[in-house]
Structure 1
Amino acid sequence: MGINTSNNRNCRGSLTVECTLVFPLFLYAMLAIMYFLQIYHLHDMLQQAITKEGLNLARYGYVYQYIKDYEGKGDLGEKGENKQEPGSIDTHEESKDCGKSDTLKDLLITKSINAAFFHFKLHDYVNEDYINKSIIAGGMDGISAYLSDFMGEDDRIDIILTYFIKPPIALPKEGDFFILQRVSVRGWNGYRPDTGEKEGEGEEDNVYVYITENGSVYHLWEDCSYLKLSIRDVPFSNIKNLRNIYGGKYYPCELCSDEVKPTGTVYITDTGDRYHSDINCSGLKRTVLKIPLSEVGNRSLCKRCQKRQGSKQ
C-alpha cells in the first residue's frame, strides 16, 4: 500500500506562498510603528526641552523689564532736551521713511538674535548627537527657532521650533513632513490686577478687595457671584435630579444635613455643591470683609473675578 505525499507537498507550498505575501506586510507594519514611535519620542524630547528653557528664561523677565523702563526714561529725557530753536528747519517729515527703515532693520536683527539665542540654549536640554542621527532633516542644524520671541506681546516668552521629518522611504511628491512645536510662558516681572484705579492711585494701600473670614481667595468686586449667594428651597425628594450652574451634583452639608426628612425641604445655591436643612446654616452665610490689597497675604485672586476682569479688558 503506497503513501500519497502530494497533499503534504501542496500544503507546504501554500504556506510558503502565504509567508511570502504576509511577511513583507508584517515587516512594513513594524517599521511604520517604529517610525511613529521615534517621531513621538523626538516630539516629547523637544517639547520638554523648550518648556524647561521657557521656564528658566522667564526668571529673567524682570531684568529685561527694568532695562526697558530705564531706556524709556532716557529716551524721554533726550526728547525733552531736544527742543527746536526759532528759525530752524523741521526735519521730522524728512526722517519718517528713514525711521521706518531703521525700525524694520531693528526688528529683523532682534528676530535673528532671538532665534540664535533660543537655538543655542536648546543644546543645554537635548542630546545633540541623538538629534543629528535622528529622522530630523539636517539634524540639530535643521531645527529653526526664527519665529520665537522674548518678552513680546503681553511680556510673553514664545519659543517656536520648526523642522522637517524625513519619511522612512523616498516619497517624490510628498517630501519631508513639516513639524511645529511651541511653548508660551509669561515673564516673571510682577503682576497687579486692574481694579479700575486711575493712574497715580496705584498704591496697594489705596486699592481695596473683598474676602471672607475663612476664604483662601480675594475678590475685586463686592457683587462677585461667590460672595452673593442665590438661595432657593427645593424638595429633598428631587435633590438627586438637580444640578448647579457648573453641572455638578448636590451633596449633604457636613454641618446641618444629618437629620433631613424624606418629605422635607432643603436649601441650595446655584453655585454651590451642598444642600442644607437649615436656612441659617453657616454654610449659607458669607461674612464679607473689605481690606487693602496689601493685606491679602497668601490669598490668590478669585477665578470668577479673574475671568470677569479679562472680559472687561
Structure 2
Amino acid sequence: MRNNLFSPSQPINHSVSERVSLSASTRLEKLFRNKRKGSVTVEAAATVPLFFLAVVTLLYLLEMMAVHTAVRSSLQYAGKQTAKDTCITQMLMPSKVERDVVYAIGETRMERSIIAGGSSGMDCSASRMSVRTGIGTLNAEYQVKIPVPLFGIRPVKCRETMKIKAWSGYEKEGLSDMGNDTVYVTENGLVYHKDYHCSYLDLSIRMTHMGTVSDLRNESGGRYYPCEHCMKGNAGTIYITNFGDRYHSSLSCSGLKRTIYAIPVSEAAGKGACSKCGR
C-alpha cells in the first residue's frame, strides 16, 4: 500500500528537476549571447572613429600638397611680374609680391583653404633683391591649419623660396662684327639661341592630370612621355611644357629648369643654330 502511495511522486520530482536545469541552461545561453553582442559593439565603437580619423588625415595631406603646389605656381607668376617691374623701378616691393601671389591663387580660394588667415595669411616680407646684380630671392611664408584641433597643436609653418633675375638685359658697346654678337646657350644644350625669350629657353609649364596625358600633344604635335629623372611611379598631378616631350611629377625636376649663359657667338663653336630663333 505504501509503495503505491509514494511511487507516483518520483517521476513528478524528476520532471521538475529537468525543468529547472533547462531554465538555467537557457539563461546561461542568453547571458553568453548578450556578452558576444556587447563585445562586437565595443569593437565597432573603437574601429569606426579610427577609420574616419585615417580618412580625414589622408584628405588633409592631399589638401596640403594642393596648397603647396598652388603657392609654388603663384610664386613663379609673382617672380615673372617682379622681374619685369624691376626694369623700371630698380627695387623689389614685398607688398606687390604678396598681391601677385594672392591674385595667382585666387582670393576666394585662399579664404576657403586651410591657410591660416586666408588671403591675409601670406607673408612675403622677407623677399629681397640686389640692386647691383639684379638677382633677387622671393620668400613666401604661410601657416596651415590643423583640421581637428587636438592636444593644442599649432598651425604648421610653411615656406617657399625662389631665385629670380631682373630683366635688365645687356648693353652693346658700339658696333661689333658677327663674331662678337651675343647668343644664349644652356648647360647641356647642343644649339645656341639668338633670342633670349625663345620658346625652347622660356618654358611654359602647365599642370594637368595623369589620366589626360595620353590625349595631350605639344606644339609640334608630338606625344608626352615620362621623364627619366622624376617619374618613378604613378602620380596624380603632372607638369608639361608646350614644346617639350616629357611629363614630370615634380616642379624641381632638372628637366623643367634651364641654366642659360650669354656668350659671344665665337665661343659657340661646335653648336648649331636654333631652328626657331637662330636663322
TM-score normalised per structure 1: 0.44
TM-score normalised per structure 2: 0.49
